Amino acid sequence: MIESFIGLEIHIQLLTKTKVFCNCKNEFTHVPNSHVCPVCMGYPGVLPVLNEEAVRKAYIVCRAMNCHLNEKAVFDRKNYFYPDMPKNYQISQFNSPFGVKGLIEMDGMPKVRIHDAHLEEDAGKLVHEGMTSYCDYNRAGTPLLEIVTEPDFKKPEEAELFMQNFRKMVRYLGVCDGNMEEGSMRCDVNVSVNFEGKGLGRKVEVKNLNSFRHVKLALQYEIQRQSRMITAGESVVQETRLWNDEKKRTEGMRSKENANDYRYFPEPDLPPYCPTKEFLAQIDAAQVELPWVRKKRFIDEYGLNEDGAEFLTEEKDKADFFENAVKGGISVANAASWMRGEVAKDLNKAKKSLCDSFLTVEKFVTVIKLLEAEKINAQAAKKVMDIIINEDADPMQVIEKNNLMQTADSGEVEAMVEKLLAENTKVVAQIKGGDQKPIGFLIGQLMKVSGGKADPKKARELILNKISQLG
Amino acid sequence: MFDVLKTPEDRKAFQEQVSVADKGIHSFLELDATKKECKNPSGPLAFIPFGVKDNIAVEGFHLTCASKILENFVSPYNATAVEKLEAAGGIVVGKTNMDEFGMGSSTDFSAFGGTNNPWNKECVTGGSSGGSAAAVAAGLVPVALGSDTGGSIRQPAAFCGVYGLKPTYGAVSRYGLVAYASSLDVIGVLSKDLDLTEKVFNVIKGQDWHDQTSIAYPSEPAKPVKGRLSFTYLEGDLGLSPEIEKGYKALIQAIKDKGFEIKGVQVPSLEYVIPVYYTIATAEASANLARYNGIRYGHRSKEGETPMDLMEKSRNEGFGDEVKLRILLGTYVLRSGFQDQYYIKAQKIRTKIIDDFKNIFSSSDIFVAPAFPSQAFKHGNAGLTPYQQKVADKFTVTANLTGMPALSIPVGVENGLPVGMQLFANYCSENLLFDAARELSDVFPVADAPEAL
């Protein structure tokens, strides 16, 4: 039997207003070299100035991962030459990073130990066009937090699931948008195989993984490749490989690119960072219930099924919305089904997320409460929901304006039914003849003439009664 | 006294006079007295012309560091020290010569030709702030900024017979100082006028948000530990030339004659300062100089075929031999597996040296030592080899390793060349250095170089 060992190195770009060591804007732009200054361009004589917001967000993540927080965190220079690195060294943390020895526990997953989490600066981008290479330094100096796990995963699927949950976590914490396609979250994997009981094998690092799928595919490929090798008595070369998504395989890099000695030493331009008690209290205050914990609680506390809990805890906004709606006095079943159904559908159509739509918990609760009290019917509720998602409108006014209150005057509806039956004698005859199918048509017509005010549940009964009364 | 730059005509005249006088000295790499206006006519430094070492950024002036790799680089910004000078009314008139990137003790390692000592043109000015020292000694400017990583202000000041202050590390912002060795570098002042040296220091010091290693300088002046200034000096055979030996004895005698307490000490850790200094300085330099690759600015090779190739060739063409040597040395001491043996060991010894000096300053205020074992040496092969020059830095590098302030003072002229000594003090005790120097200034008045303006 062959065992595999997988560790992850996850980079997240922190959501800060400015870059980590200068005042340039930390935001994506298509205009090359427009968010740059002498500091992030590595001009002669400039010095880095540490961005407190980046530090705060980095510590929030460290705390969420139960890391031990070093009393004195030290920045180091990681030396290597590459044209997109303005200083040809990266300011990072090596011996004494912000957080070490963390632990993440999720259901259905082995415990994942966090080796460390360290703050560093991103590099620029090199764009090759034909024989020319262009440098864009907009990204240079973007704050990056690198999280390194121990090789605690056994299966590619576990690594993939962890990544998905990790992404949710950083979004819950509001520190990173988690967009893998745009590179604001990136992942390298370390993988080794060995015969069972023999411990770790020789480690291969795989880079260039731009989606959760790539992570899984690359791991599957590597485990197969390495397993074949050791089974055949060959030894695996310790190296860095790149995922080639077109060919669906990993490929070795040229040996020169592999031969880096980073020559770490403490960054003399930045004093060590020593978090104060007040700062750490702020970090504690910024903690939130983590998505996988919340999901489990939703299942236990609200009796939701796995899918429902998964959907509702996908984003913190959504989970908060749900819980506040239930607190607002509507049933769990209605809150969950309406959020998963109509609200999700309307938001999707409007290409909006919950937080940037006009829907508020109060409005949602108002509508669902009217529905639960049978003041409006489901069709009317859907109509109102659609409007209050897309417009800044008051649900009560929408209902009044569109005359959507279910009419309490049964006499009025009865009159409508009588009129309808008189106008559709053929259909009535059909029903009398025992064919129940056209009754749906009549219900539809009734809803139409009543402007949705008739209760569809009661309509069927009423129509059948009237037909039987016709004798 | 300094009305030379009041009107455009004054500036033009100044420019002409100085450029002529500098012909045989070559203290300036760029001289333009018409570029900058006085920004504060009532400021403490109003209309005072400044020379600025060419590794300190002055907006609109070149910032070459005397290196081919930055030959055409014009600074888009001001160093904080320059910003403060200008705010006090000072006017930058030019950029002074130096050893390439501050690496040297002669200024002969300038890619644009060395500087001649105004006292004797066959001799070097010392370095690396040799241009600043020569410009001040020759009377071209009353004051100049220099930088000191291992003695680069104090040794040329001694060679040229002027005052040279290396402040406490962090007292003056390093923002805008092109880094050689970041944990040792500091901007300082050279002048023949002690009061002006102090005044300029007081203008440029202070915490700066651009430089997180800068410190909040105490507002209260440091007080002597025993109420009155007390001194210590180095005992034993220090390997000095006869002229320097004589000067050192004369200084100690003058201190005694003035009635100050002075006692001899031995500092065994001084034997280690040279290897420690060159390990730390070159390690930091190897990273600091990595940014010069011909991609964003500076010399770019015409030969590069790939981006990596372009960087290699640009660096090979752009750097001089001494700079390459130090980059290689720094790369060597930092390589994986050898850090404990070199870099970390050097840091441990550095801590020990700091402790030794804290101990000295717990019972006395001023430690006196030679600036250099000899007077200014000759250019080229007649002078000291680069190795001899490095070993001779032992009296200066100590203050950089401890981060404590030191002031070079002239103590006379022997054989037509100045003799310079150093005063060391505890952190943020620059005022005690100035007090001590003032006490001694009547015994050792500043002498003018033969053709000084």
What are the DSSP calls for A342-402, one per residue? IIHHHHHHHT--GGGSS--HHHHHHHHHHHHTTSS-HHHHHHHHHHHHHS---HHHHHHHT
Highest CATH level, class, for A410-469 = mainly alpha
Give the pLDDT band (50/70/90) at residue A401: confident
What is the number of structural domains in chain B? 1
Closest by Cβ to A87, choosing from B212, B213, B291: B291
Q: How far apart are CA A327 and CA B14, in angstroms?
A: 82
Query: Does the pLDDT of residue B195 top 50, yes or no?
Result: yes
Q: Does B401 touch chain A (CB under 8 A)?
A: no
The residue among A36, A50, A88, A273 with the most chain B CBs within 10 A of its CB, best to mutate, is A88
ipTM: 0.95
Region A33-60: mean pLDDT is 97
Range of the domain at B340: 1-453
Phi, psi of A300 (to 5 degrees): -70, -45
At residue B68, the 3 state secondary structure works out as helix
- Asked if A44 lies within 8 A of B178 by C-beta distance, the reply is yes
Interface of A with B (CB under 8 A): 38, 41-50, 77, 79, 81-83, 86-89, 126, 133, 135, 137, 261-265, 268-271
pLDDT tens, A317-376? 999 999 999 999 999 999 999 999 999 999 999 898 888 899 999 999 999 999 998 888
pLDDT tens, A241-261? 999 999 999 999 876 555 679
**For B296, what's the count of Cα atoms within 13 Å in the CB-facing half-sphere?**
26
CA-based nearest residue to B164, from B139, B130, B114? B130
Residue A278 is encoded by which pair of tokens? Answer: 């007040």
Sort out which chain A residues have CB atoms less than 8 A from B70's CB and list them. 44
- Asked if A265 lies within 8 A of B63 by C-beta distance, the reply is no
DSSP state at residue B249? H
Q: Is B53 in the active site?
A: yes
Q: How distant is the Cα of B36 from the closest Cα of chain A, in angstroms?
A: 21
Q: What is the DSSP string of A191-247?
A: EEEEETTS-----EEEEEE-SHHHHHHHHHHHHHHHHHHHHTT-----EEEEEETTT
CA-based nearest residue to A243, from A267, A225, A266, A261? A225
- Asked if B296 lies within 8 A of A262 by C-beta distance, the reply is no
pLDDT tens, B226-278? 999 999 999 989 999 999 999 999 999 999 999 999 999 999 999 999 999 99
pLDDT tens, A435-466? 888 888 888 888 787 776 777 777 788 888 88
Q: How far apart are CA B405 and CA B430, in angstroms?
A: 6
Give the pLDDT band (50/70/90) at residue A408: low
- Asked if A265 lies within 8 A of B284 by C-beta distance, the reply is yes
Closest by Cβ to A77, choosing from B65, B213, B287: B287
- Asked if A44 lies within 8 A of B63 by C-beta distance, the reply is yes
Q: How far apart are CA B226 and CA A347, in angstroms?
A: 79
- Asked if B212 lies within 8 A of A270 by C-beta distance, the reply is yes
Region A287-302: mean pLDDT is 96
- Asked if B65 lies within 8 A of A271 by C-beta distance, the reply is no
CA distance to A4, A471, B50, per residue, from A154 (Å): 5, 74, 67
Sort out which chain A residues have CB atoms less than 8 A from B295's CB and list them. 83, 135
Segment (H or E) for A443: helix A439-449
Cα B126 from chain centre: 10
Among residues B128, B147, B173, B374, which one is catalytic? B128
Kindly report the pTM of this predicted structure: 0.91
| Burial group, residue B317, by CB count within 10 angstroms (0-12, 13-18, 19+) | middle
Cα B328 from chain centre: 24
| Burial group, residue B19, by CB count within 10 angstroms (0-12, 13-18, 19+) | middle
Q: Is B19 in the active site?
A: no
Give the pLDDT band (50/70/90) at residue B1: very low
Among residues B110, B129, B152, B408, which one is catalytic? B152
- Asked if A265 lies within 8 A of B70 by C-beta distance, the reply is no
pLDDT tens, A151-171? 999 999 999 999 999 999 999
Q: By the 8 A CB rule, do B296 and A41 touch?
A: yes
Residue B326 Rama label (left phi>0; alpha psi -120 to 50; beta): alpha
CA-based nearest residue to B409, from B159, B191, B164, B241? B164
Residue B218 is encoded by which pair of tokens? Answer: 């105490």
| DSSP β-bridge partners for residue B91 | B49
What pLDDT score does B147 carry?
98
Closest by Cβ to A265, choosing from B211, B311, B334: B334
Q: How distant is the Cα of A83 from the closest Cα of chain B, in angstroms?
A: 6
Between vectors from CA B304 to CA B302 and to CA B306, what angle results, nearest 5°? 150
Give the pLDDT band (50/70/90) at residue B331: very high
CATH number where B441 lies: 3.90.1300.10
Q: How far apart are CA B377 and CA B161, in angstroms?
A: 14
Q: How far apart are CA B283 and CA B278, in angstroms?
A: 8
Domain ranges of chain A: 2-283, 291-401, 410-469
Closest by Cβ to B73, choosing from A44, A77, A87: A44
Mean pLDDT estimate for chain B: 96
Sort out which chain A residues have CB atoms less than 8 A from B183's CB and list them. 268
Contacts by residues A258-262 (CB-CB < 8 Å, ≥ 24 positions apart): A260/A80, A261/B335, A261/B336, A262/A78, A262/A79, A262/A80, A262/B336
